[in-house]
Structure 1
Amino acid sequence: MTDALLDFMLGPMRVIGDVYYEYQVIFNTLVVGFALYKMIFRGKKTQQSSAS
């Protein structure tokens, strides 16, 4: 039943969801890595501007 509801709600976007579920570990790793990168380098810029 859940599958039928998702088909109805997502329609043609369901294919994108299938690709995401197949490669979920890779996509999640990229998202978390990007977030960590932004947090680390944002913190360094804040520290550098405070030191000046």
Structure 2
Amino acid sequence: MSGTEKSKAHVEQVKGKAKEAVGRAVGNERMTAEGHADQMKGNARQAKEDIKDTFRS
């Protein structure tokens, strides 16, 4: 996995976890959902890069 894409995926996952936690703490369902969506985007980006790495090897 390229370093840039790997770091982007990790940042999205961490940002999503933080946003989801804050949303739960303040009772904001929309922020919680946005955080979950950010995590899923990070997971999808990471999965895409893993697939690309598989075919490169």
TM-score normalised over the length of structure 2 = 0.50
Other-structure match for 1:27? 32
After TM superposition, the structure 1 = structure 2 runs for residues 1-52 of structure 1, keeping only pairs within 5 Å, are: 22-52=27-57
Question: Unaligned 5+ residue runs, structure 1?
Answer: 1-18
How much does 1:49 deviate?
Answer: 1.1
Following TM superposition, the consecutive aligned residue runs of length 4 or more in structure 1 with deviations greater than 4 angstroms are none
Relative contact order, higher structure (CA 8 A, sep 6+): 2
**Number of aligned residue pairs:** 33
Higher-Rg member (1/2): 1
TM-score normalised over the length of structure 1 = 0.54
Q: Which amino acid aligns with 2:35?
A: L
Task: Provide the C-alpha distance between the structure 2 equivalents of 1:49 and 1:35, rounded to a whole number of angstroms.
Answer: 21
**CA RMSD of the aligned region, Å?**
1.8
Other-structure match for 1:5? none
